[in-house]
Amino acid sequence: MQSKTTSGAMLEAMREKPPLVHCITNYVAMNIAANVLLASGASPAMVHAAEEAGEFAGIASALTVNIGTLSTQWLDGMQAAAKAATSAGKPWVLDPVAHYATGFRRQAVADLLALRPTIIRGNASEIIALAGGESRGQGVDSRDPVEQAEESARRLAERQQAIVAVTGAVDFVTDGARSVRIKGGSVLMPQVTALGCSLTCLVGAFAATVPEDLFGATVAALATFAVAGEDAALGAAGPGSFAWRFLDALAALDGEALDARARVSIA
């Protein structure tokens, strides 16, 4: 195995040894997220029940938690899994979908933040609101540009001692001290449902591969999406043809191409 210092090297390392990634995600994202992980080289497992989520988090190499279609029972499973992942020293990623929308959701995300996710990924509206700012979000689609979420992301990263990723037209990743921007992707991506949720799962897959470099893992996942999104857009006539081309592009991407084409800059 080559040195895992670049996004491309991390992608190759993931494919050499497919990590088992425990995904608790929403009903909309289940299928596409699993396909994104398989195309990228990881082994996804969707396990949510409180009866087994904790035990399974101890077996998997990373956990991802997404509150998109939340219920009380699922929240129990998320909390059990998050505690078990933390106990076992495994990274876990929180995706606070539309957490500002209802009281139930606000409380749930506060409870999950208290369990110390190692990485948080959201859209701009979600990250602004999570940091205590005023977002324009209502539903699951962001109504704020990423640029306006950068300061919120830094504050949130410091407060939570976590890596925070804001995704949108230009992505932003920070751990409070270091920050980078990642360009790429396609305007068709927000027209395909649950690609953001799928990216959260892919962040988990990279985190499972390089748990010693979670900042690098997050950047690698976002760069993978950005480059594959550009490839998929080439022949796409709309969101329908984009979606399957995106899976083909993920599967076709290799580490060398990823490193050559990723557009990551210090912020």
Strands 163-166 and 171-174: antiparallel
The backbone torsions φ and ψ at residue 4, rounded to the nearest 5 degrees and listed phi first, read: -95, 50
CA separation for the pair 214, 117 (Å, rounded): 12
Counting contacts by CB under 8 A, is residue 181 touching its own copies?
Answer: no
**What distance in Å separates the CA atoms of residue 12 and residue 16, rounded to the nearest whole number?**
6
CA-CA distances (angstroms) from residue 161 to 54, 88, 172, 206?
A: 23, 18, 16, 19
Residues 28-67, mask of contacts with its own copies (x by CB under 8 A): xxxxx-xx--xx---xxxxxxx-xx--xx--xx-------
Which of 247, 258, 262, 264 forms a contact with its own copies (CB under 8 A)? 247
Q: Contact between 134 and its own copies (CB under 8 A)?
A: no
Cα-based distances in Å from 55 to 51, 68, 82, 194, 211? 8, 23, 11, 27, 20
Per rule CB under 8 A, count of chain residues that contact its own copies: 62
Residue 242 CB, nearest distance to its own copies (Å)?
Answer: 9
By CB under 8 A, residue 98 contacts its own copies: yes
**CA 125 to CA 127: how far, in whole Å?**
6
User: Do the annotations mark residue 194 as ligand-binding?
Assistant: yes
> Does 87 participate in binding its own copies (rule CB under 8 A)?
no
Return the H-helix or E-strand segment holding 95: strand 92-95
Identify residues 182-221 at the interface with its own copies (CB under 8 A). 190-194
CB 103 within 8 A of CB 128: no
Which residue's CB is nearer to its own copies, number 18 or number 168?
18
Looking at the DSSP assignment, which residues form a beta bridge with residue 44?
21
CB of 18 to its own copies, least distance (A): 8
> Closest separation between CB of residue 82 and its own copies, Å?
17
Closest separation in Å from C-beta 6 to its own copies: 23
Q: Which of residues 142-171 bind its own copies (CB under 8 A)?
A: none
Contact between 245 and its own copies by CB under 8 A: the answer reads yes
Interface with its own copies by CB under 8 A: which residues?
18, 20, 26-32, 34-35, 38-39, 43-49, 51-52, 55-56, 59-60, 68-73, 98, 101-105, 138-141, 190-194, 237-241, 243-252
